[in-house]
Structure 1
Amino acid sequence: MMLGMTKSALKCLYFPLVLLFSSSLMAESYDNYALAEGGRLYDNWALELGKEAPKTTHPGYNDYKGKKRGAATWRCKECHGWDYEGAMGIYGKGQHYTGTKGISAYRGASVDEIVMVLRNDNHGFERVFTEEQLTKVAAFVGQGLINMRAVINPRTKKVAGEASKGRLTYQEQCTLCHGSSGKARNLSKKRGQKLYLGDVANQNPWKAMHKIRFGHPG
């Protein structure tokens, strides 16, 4: 048994295998690498690309009621959330609330349609992304999203799935960095604070699910 690894964390590891990418079911498909990079760009594109995000607040963010300022507002997840539901999901209240719509409605939409949205005045991401990067973000949105509500209870944070299968995935894919106990790497950015993989999965299973499926930027 892996001490420190909760059932929530292990269940989060089960679903990526089942739901990883459904691109093979779509007429327009992109390889898993492109979808994964798109997911990391959605998470934190500046970190993924080794760039510095603008210090000014994103123009589109100013149209809403968010409390963040500066570089943080350029992260896609800061408005649309780890569950992709925006104000209708886990970002419906609290420090991340903006009132922004989610992106789940674009699941299954064409890459061209989504790229047009990324280029519009409200988003303006053509100023920081190449054409290839825009395409990868669009592919992630159109083909990489899953219905988080189907696997994570938004009220209890309980994760559906099979912990035993997630345990096998963890042993094969995650122990090199996180250790068999899940405590080999402290994920906290605050001095003196400890935060391990199991803690993240319990506190924010949507974030854990996204990062397990697409990886961590950088």
Structure 2
Amino acid sequence: MISLPGLLVAMALVALPAAAAAADGEPASIARGGRLYDHWIKELGGDARRVAVRAGGTATAPGRCVTCHGWNYRGAGGAADPGTNLDHLAGADGTVVLGALADPGHGYADFMDHRDFADLAAFITRGQVATERFIDPATGRATGDATRGDVYFQTICANCHGTGGQQIEDAPPLGDLARGDPWMALHTLLNGHPGGDMPALRALHPAVVADTLARLQALPSREPLASVVRGGRLYDTWYKENRRTPPGFVHPAYPVDLPAGVLPRTTWRCKECHGWDYRGRDGAYGEDAHRTGIKGIRAMAGADPAAVVAVLGDATHAYGGLLSARDMADLAAFVTRGQVDMDAAIDRATGRARGDAAAYAAHYETICAPCHGMDGRDIRTMPPLGRLASGDPWRALHGILNGHPGEVMPPLRALSDDTVAGILAYTQTLPGRK
């Protein structure tokens, strides 16, 4: 039995040919259809549960068009797949596409209305582009001229994305995206982001779009070391680093009663469960006042960052709505590439740094003392460095390597292991009282 929304769409199809033909000629309709093709749920409301209201909350929302048909519209694998290739529908009668979208095989009738169907049909019949005109199929390089494209990037794109293409935290660096998946980047240039306010460049000359894509591919990547050290600061206190408000309740996965002095928001810090030495229950924090019995993250060193991102967003960690895409990427970079073996720098039994304090006194006095003072007591909002370095050397070493979250302290990760251990050892010689 066809649902009420499906029946209404089916009735509309009978009288639609003229309306579909009119919509097909409008660039705005085509671009919106391209956004629906990309991620129709985001374009219609951003949340599958909200979109499902159109179906009375009972139907399961079907997937994204691009999942089956690909960013070059020839199938998910990129090559011309007879089963999912949309080439034959370029220039076709819009009513053919409308009928296919409404049939049970696609299952969109319960979720999209008359306008949605018309726009998506407009894109499929009038909006597909021959991607090989813009992108070399063998190399993935844009066919345009990056120098000519710079003026369009600097005026149309850079205001939101920044001159280096890395200003938007909820998107990968544009250079990495354009090089890694130029077909997706091209589709987005032409049609904009679903549910967003990015301008669509579909009305511009194809050569302009090709040149702009070439300029995107020339943008820099995120500097790996910068990503690692920022991830270290997020591991420390993510809500200070990104200046966001943490939840005011205890993390649902926090397994013990709050220790004295620990606030609910503190339980959302990575270090609170996994420790400053990253070993959790098996490290220096396995027996201290903050022990939770949770394992550390040492096993994730060298892992695939994408796997860590997935863990951060799962039901146990629940950071999906709290951390941006860049936060997730940076924290995953730290976990997979930024952990150090704290036991190599600090004797776990005594807490003493293994470095040569006298040999690295000058490093402290020139790099650290301008802010902390020669005796480590100039910053009144934190304990004296001597007390911190002796009482919690693992925390001190993490801070030396990555900096303080939300502050301007320089991370010293680029220095040698001996140098960092020596700075820590010297810091442990400083006085511990105000």
Name the TM-score, length of structure 1 as normaliser.
Answer: 0.79
CA contact (8 A) 1:54 1:71 kept: yes
Q: Which residue of 2 aligns with 1:23?
A: none
Query: In the alignment, does 2:272 pair up with 1:112?
Result: no
Per-residue deviation, residues 51-95 of structure 1 (Å, max 9, x unmatched): 11100111111xx22525511110000000101011111221232
Work out which structure has the larger RCO, using CA pairs closer than 8 Å and 6 or more positions apart in sequence.
1
User: 2:264 — aligned with what?
Assistant: 70
Counterpart amino acid of 1:202? S
Q: Shift of the alpha carbon at 1:187?
A: 4.5
Letter in 1 for 2:238: W
* Aligned twin of 1:126: 320
* 8 Å CA contact 1:66, 1:98 repeated in 2: no
2:229 alignment partner in structure 1: 36
C-alpha separation between the residues in 2 aligned to 1:169 and 1:121? 44
Match of 1:59, SS state, is coil
Query: 1:161: which partner in 2?
Result: 355
Matched, 1:175 2:369: yes
1:202 aligns with 2:390: yes
- Which residue number in structure 2 is paired with residue 6 of structure 1? none
User: Would you identify which runs of 4 or more consecutive aligned residues in structure 1 move more than 4 Å?
Assistant: none
The one-letter amino acid paired with 1:213 is L
Letter in 2 for 1:198: G
- In the alignment, does 2:276 pair up with 1:82? yes
Q: In structure 2, give the amino acid aligned to 1:200.
A: L
Alpha-carbon separation, structure 2, partners of 1:204 and 1:138? 25
Name 1:217's counterpart in structure 2.
Answer: 405
SS of aligned partner of 2:320:
helix
Residues 137-189 of structure 1: CA deviation (Å, up to 9, x unaligned): 0000111101111211111001112223432221221111111221212354x
Q: Give 1:133 deviation, angstroms.
A: 0.8
Count of aligned pairs between the two proteins = 182
Q: Could you say which structure has the larger radius of gyration?
A: 2
Q: What is the alpha-carbon distance in structure 2 between the residues aligned to residue 69 and residue 185 of structure 1? A: 24
- Structure 1: which amino acid aligns with 2:390? N
- The percentage of aligned residue pairs carrying the same residue is 38
Deviation string 1:20-51 (CA, Å, 9 cap, x unpaired) is xxxxxxxxx95221111100000001111111
The correspondence for 1:47, drawn from 229, 237, 240, is 240
